[in-house]
Structure 1
Amino acid sequence: MTTFFSTAEISPTPTDPLAVMGPLVARRTNEAFDGAPYERLTVSPSTPTIGAEISGIRLTGDLPDETMAELRRALLEWKVLFFRDQNIDRSEHRAFAQRWGALERHPFFKYTQPGQTDADVATLAKDAMASGVENTWHNDVTWHELPSFAAVLRAVEVPAVGGDTLWADMAAAYDLLPENIRARIDPLVAEHDWINSFGRFMPAETVDMLRPQFPAVEHPVVRVIPETGRRVLFANSGFTQRIVGISEAESNELLTMLFRHVQRPEFQVRLRWQPNTVAMWDNRTCQHYAASDYFPARRIMDRISIVGERPVGISS
């Protein structure tokens, strides 16, 4: 069994409770997690807690139920799954994603992505005319009442070098907070909004048109995953605006500390894309960051996201 260390045991400095040195090791799963071997696919871990390469299957909509069950267990265990050499088309991509639930249509891409519509398969094309701006740590669409459950991203065209994506494990991030900080944030609720992110790339009249449809929403700062009971940190620098019910100064202090904590490399995995690579991640349990280091090279990705549920907190 993996040894579990709390940051509270590693002597943080008096001025910064998260400035610790030494082992930062978290459990990958709850102790009660079903650790049975995988029989229908091969799982190759990328880091101790987050990210695994899956081989031995082709991603289509007709995968056997038994294989899908193992994929669901692997997603809960590793948070993000990588599949290489998946020479599939858009219809196969869609069919595979539909096995996980209803597909989501992003309401803002047609306003912020050149040539984009509100189709369920979104083509995100970046080049000298449209640079990548997703280089901030975030969970997708937390400004929605029902943030995405998961996303399936397929590499169509990638730069010769650069354009990697990183994911951060929010279960490990929560577990490795000092106990007093966990107790402090466990009951809190935060406001999430899109105005300072997507809104920056829209004309004012478009923002005014969309605002009534998509008001700011509130979610628990610590989210509980129904299938596992795992607690995860659910605040991100992309969309979380403030913590409700405390002073602005305390909210800023807490969020700044949590956002910095998420950036610890011990919680992260990094994927170097190749054509026909597919990544699928649990949007509830990890944040992601698309490195924007390849401009003006071309990078084209097809993205599908799956509808999620209302986040549940510890006291819900």
Structure 2
Amino acid sequence: MTATAPAPATALRAARVPGDGFHEGPRVLRRLPDTWEERPYELFRLVPLARTIGARIEGVDLSRPLTGALRAELDRALLEWKVLFFRAQHLTADRQRAFARHWGELETNPLLAAGSRADVVRFDKGDTANPTFENVWHADVTFRERPALGAVLQLREVPPSGGDTLWADMAAAYDNLSREVKDRIDGAYAVHDFIPGFARFTPPERLAPFQEVFPPVEHPVVRTHPVTGRRTLFVNASFTTRIVGMDRDESDRLLRHLFQQAHVPEYQVRFRWGPGDIAFWDNRATQHYAVNDYGPHRRVAERVAIAGDRPY
């Protein structure tokens, strides 16, 4: 019997996508460190909203002082889920501040409008209001030597549609970088500066007096979370200007690639707000994106931020 010769392979034309482009395809979605021991929550019900990030907490009244046990369990939930949501809490500014102070001292931000207290930032947005940090992925105040540990945001007035906020898990973003990119950024430092982010919506004469207050700082491109030990991607499109030791073109190309990682849907959770809702997020592990799609309606939010430590 004569064997049939194999059919010739079909020749394909040469084709490639840019080497530093956006990866498409399956991703590793690891919510916790490999050594982390999970335990059930005993003092509330936790409802996951996405695979690695975001959970709703039920059965907790934040208008009442936290016990030590409840604070500890909420802290564990924050570390495990990166952002926690509490529906219809309707806290006064002082109660919101008191809740946040369980995690540390509160910081002020003279570059943003204050609410009833100096450490309460108020975002009051309507059709004619000035833009702020919307429509851009960022982590808060990375231009400080000690960026915020986290923040507690409450919606005072909610538009009839739109105005959602998204958060991205930057540990998942780091996990899925290529080996080549990890090798280039592990041990690298980047410069963070308040001017690029604020210059989008603030005139130069208002920013100039703060240049000496907030000089550029350097932080690791890959941060180690001080509690979980997770490696997290710690650059963002609002404040990171260049990677130390690289020429400008190389730094720009690499930063564009790293900034893109927050845009991956698998790393994200999206929250539709209701009046009095609270979001409490870990600024060391996440970036967030406020969606400005609600004009001409009004959206009013108040935020308190918790002082953090120096990234390493």
Pairwise CA distance, 1:35: 0.3
Inter-CA distance 150–185: structure 2 relative to 1 (3 Å threshold):
same
Deviates more, 1:192-201 or 1:236-245: 192-201
Displacement of 1:59: 1.1
State whether residues 18 and 261 of structure 1, in contact with CA within 8 Å, keep that contact through their aligned partners in structure 2. no
1:184–1:135: structure 2 CA closer, same or farther, 3 Å change rule?
A: same
Residue in 1 that maps onto 2:122: 123
Match of 1:294 in 2: 294
CA distance in 2, matches of 1:21, 1:201: 33
Q: What SS is found at the alignment partner of 1:195?
A: helix
> Which residue identity is paired with 2:128?
M
How do residues 132-143 of structure 1 correspond to structure 2 at under 5 angstroms?
Answer: 132-133=131-132, 134-143=134-143
Matches within 5 A, 1:191-210: 191-210=191-210
1:221-236 → structure 2 map (5 Å cutoff): 221-236=221-236
Query: Partner residue of 2:169?
Result: 169
Deviations 1:250-278 (A, max 9, x none): 10110011111221111111000000110
Q: 236-245 vs 202-211, which deviates more?
A: 202-211
- Secondary structure of 1:196's aligned partner: helix
State TM-score, norm by structure 2. 0.91
Aligned-partner Cα distance in 2 for 1:243–1:272: 35
Change beyond 3 A, Cα 1:41–1:201:
same
**Offset, 1:206:** 3.0
Please name the residue that 1:147 is paired with.
147
Matched residue, 2:3: none
Query: What is aligned with 1:43?
Result: 46
AA aligned opposite 1:125: D
Q: Gaps spanning 5+ residues in structure 2: where?
A: 1-15
C-alpha distance in 2 between matches for 1:167 and 1:299 = 19
Aligned residues: 296
**Percent of aligned positions that are identical:** 49
Q: State the distance in 1 between where 2:22 and 2:200 align.
A: 33
Conserved 8 A contact 2:28-2:175? no
User: In structure 1, what is the equivalent of residue 268 of structure 2?
Assistant: 268
Secondary structure, counterpart of 2:46 in structure 1: strand
How far the C-alpha of 1:132 sits from its partner, in A, is: 4.0
**SS of residue in 1 equivalent to 2:279:** strand
Kept in 2, the 8 Å contact 1:153–1:304? The answer is yes
- Structure 1 gaps of 5+ residues are 1-12
SS at match of 1:120: coil
Partner of 1:282: 282
User: Separation in 1 of the partners of 2:99 and 2:116?
Assistant: 21
1:25 is aligned to 2:28: yes
Q: Normalized against structure 1, the TM-score is what?
A: 0.89
Contact 1:80/1:281 (8 A) holds in 2: yes
Match of 1:4? none
Aligned CA distance change for structure 1 residues 61 and 150 (closer, same or farther; 3 Å): farther
For the Cα contact (< 8 Å) 2:62–2:91, is it kept in 1?
yes
Q: Which residue of 1 aligns with 2:218?
A: 218
The Cα offsets for residues 167-215 of structure 1, whole Å up to 9 and x where unpaired, read as: 0100000001112211111111000111122134444333222111111
Note the aligned Cα RMSD (angstroms): 1.6
**SS class of match (1:32):** coil
Q: Give the distance between the partners of 2:176 and 2:267, measured in 1 at CA.
A: 10
Q: Which amino acid aligns with 2:303?
A: R
2:18 to 15, 18, 43: 15
Greater Cα offset, 90-99 or 136-145: 90-99
Instruction: Tell me which residue corresponds to 1:309.
Output: 309
* CA distance in 2: counterparts of 1:220 and 1:61, whole angstroms: 38
Structure with max Cα Rg: 2
